[in-house]
Amino acid sequence: MGRLGGARALVATVALAGCHSGGLDITCSSKQCSQAPADLAQSSLDLRGGSLPDLAGVDLAGELPSPDLAGVFGSLNLTIPKTGAPFSGTMTDPGLNDASQCPDVNLEPDDDLVSALNAPALTPDQANAKIIKLAICPTGNNPLTGHHDIDVFKVDNSTGPSSLTLQAEIFYDISMGDLDVAILDGSGNVLSEDGTAVTNGCAAAAIGSGVFYVVVVGANNLGVNNYQLLIRSFTTPQTCPTT
Residue 115: give its domain's CATH number: 2.60.120.380
Q: Number of structural domains, the chain? A: 1
pLDDT (0 to 100) of residue 78: 85
Query: Is the pLDDT at 70 greater than 60, yes or no?
Result: no
Mean pLDDT of the chain: 77
From the list 61, 49, 51, 48, the residue with the least C-alpha distance to 14 is 61
Query: For residue 28, which amino acid is it?
Result: C
115 part of a folded domain: yes
Residues 19-32: pLDDT tens digits?
Answer: 333 333 333 343 33
2 part of a folded domain: no
pLDDT (0 to 100) of residue 7: 53
pLDDT (0 to 100) of residue 144: 86
pLDDT (0 to 100) of residue 1: 40
Instruction: Please indicate whether residue 213 or residue 23 has the higher confidence score (pLDDT).
Output: 213
Query: Is the pLDDT at 50 greater than 60, yes or no?
Result: no
Give residue 133's domain range.
13-234
Separation between Cα atoms, residue 98 and residue 36, nearest integer Å: 32
187 part of a folded domain: yes
7 part of a folded domain: no
Task: Say whether pTM exceeds 0.85.
Answer: no
8 part of a folded domain: no
3 part of a folded domain: no
Query: Is the pLDDT at 189 greater than 60, yes or no?
Result: yes
Separation between Cα atoms, residue 131 and residue 120, nearest integer Å: 8
pLDDT (0 to 100) of residue 199: 97
86 part of a folded domain: yes
Instruction: Please indicate whether residue 144 or residue 27 has the higher confidence score (pLDDT).
Output: 144
**Omega of the bond leading into 109 within 30 degrees of 0 (cis):** yes
**Omega of the bond leading into 138 within 30 degrees of 0 (cis):** yes
Residues 201-220 have a mean pLDDT of 97
74 part of a folded domain: yes
* Per-residue CA distances from 155 to 19, 91, 94, 184 (Å): 21, 33, 29, 10
Query: Is the pLDDT at 115 greater than 50, yes or no?
Result: yes
